[in-house]
Structure 1
Amino acid sequence: MASTEELDKVTNDTTDLTINDTKSVNTTAKTPTPAANTDTSNASDAAKTGGGTVKTLPKAFRENFKLFSKFGDTKSDGKSLTLSQSDKWMKQAKVIDGKKITTTDTGIYFKKFKSLKIGLSDYHKFIESLAKAKTVSEDDLIQKMADSGTPVSNSNAASAGQIQNTIDRLTDPSRYTGSSKQRFDESGKGKGIAGRKDVVEGAGYVQGYQNKNSYDKTH
């Protein structure tokens, strides 16, 4: 039979093992587990931009979209544009050239959305379908429209040279015929009323005789 000392030693060893196992379990339980990556910023941005489609568009393009959507419509909130506003933008950006892409083409693909106005996400889809149908680069179309600048009205589109050419043409007396030719002198300066009609003088020598010095001109 085992002695009392041997039994005490076995009991102490068993107790030590139990304590060590307990410490190991506690240490494992306290060790923090790395949290899974829950960064949803990209998903949030994609949700805000309609599934990520709008997010790929250049900033200048998005800014021009707002400007052209308000062009000619003071009540517009800048979030959607019409076909006429789109055509205005594309003409200014040289996307519509009357050859490769025409207003007939834009009308066909714009009206597929069955709405008078479309938002930025749908407008991107419109450009995608237009570019695919006309076999042109979608990126090129978007870049041209991003570089188009702010809306310019037709009245402001004429250059200073064009305006001066128009003035020169309208004030060149050699281009006129008949009475219109008499309205300007040789330098192109207008003659005023003298160039439009004969001025009759009311002065005379005696009562009943008017238009002084006119007798010699008619006899």
Structure 2
Amino acid sequence: MTEDFFFKKKDEPEIIPLHEMFKAYCEMDVISFEQNVDLLPLSQSDKWLISARILDMVTLTTTDTGLAFFTFRKRALSFEEYLQYLKDLAESKNIDFEEMKYKMQTCGKPKKAA
């Protein structure tokens, strides 16, 4: 019974720090990767939100994400800008921001194409 204390239960998702997840998705963007910068474009953000089951085309659509993203008038966002983007998006669509971050931390890192 004490060994259960040391092992994570199978139904408990791994919680990866948001900044680490952000960096992993930045690396999936060719331009950010080649320039060795941590900037996330809308395309990678949408992939992350789909993976986290937030972008579902009902409650939240690609039109919603695009409109919120383009208020920054940039190709890609830094981590701090991205957090503001998520807050704005959550507020505009009445989505719980903390739950949103949790889903984004537990959806797993993106897999690189072989």
What TM-score range do you get, normalising by the shorter chain? 0.7 to 0.9
Give the one of 113, 125, 137 matched to 2:84.
Answer: 125
Which residue of structure 1 aligns with residue 18 of structure 2?
A: 61
Gaps (5+ residues) in structure 2?
1-14
Return the offset for 1:122: 0.7
State the distance in 2 between where 1:85 and 1:147 align.
Answer: 17
Give the one of 101, 105, 109 matched to 1:146.
Answer: 105
State the distance in 1 between where 2:26 and 2:81 align.
Answer: 14
TM-score (ref. length: structure 1): 0.42
Q: Which has the higher contact order (CA 8 A, sep 6+)?
A: 2
- Give the secondary-structure state (helix, strand or coil) at the position aligned to 2:17: helix
State the distance in 2 between where 1:95 and 1:70 align.
Answer: 21
Which stretches of structure 1, 4 residues or longer, exceed 3 Å deviation after superposition? none
State the distance in 2 between where 1:98 and 1:151 align.
Answer: 20
State the distance in 2 between where 1:91 and 1:59 align.
Answer: 17
1:168-183 equivalences under 5 Å are none
Return the offset for 1:152: 3.2
Give the one of 84, 90, 95 matched to 2:54.
Answer: 95
**Residue type of the alignment partner of 2:26:** S
Matched pairs, number: 98
Which residue of structure 2 aligns with residue 134 of structure 1?
A: 93
1:14-163 equivalences under 5 Å are 60-73=17-30, 74-152=33-111
- Give the secondary-structure state (helix, strand or coil) at the position aligned to 1:97: coil
Return the offset for 1:111: 0.4
Which residue of structure 2 aligns with residue 54 of structure 1?
A: none
Gaps (5+ residues) in structure 1?
1-57, 157-219
Larger radius of gyration: 1
Return the offset for 1:76: 4.6
State the distance in 2 between where 1:78 and 1:86 align.
Answer: 15
State the distance in 1 between where 2:109 and 2:56 align.
Answer: 19
User: Could you say what the CA RMSD is over the residues aligned between the two structures, in angstroms?
Assistant: 2.0
TM-score (ref. length: structure 2): 0.78
The answer as to whether partners of 2:29 and 2:40 remain within 8 angstroms in 1 is no
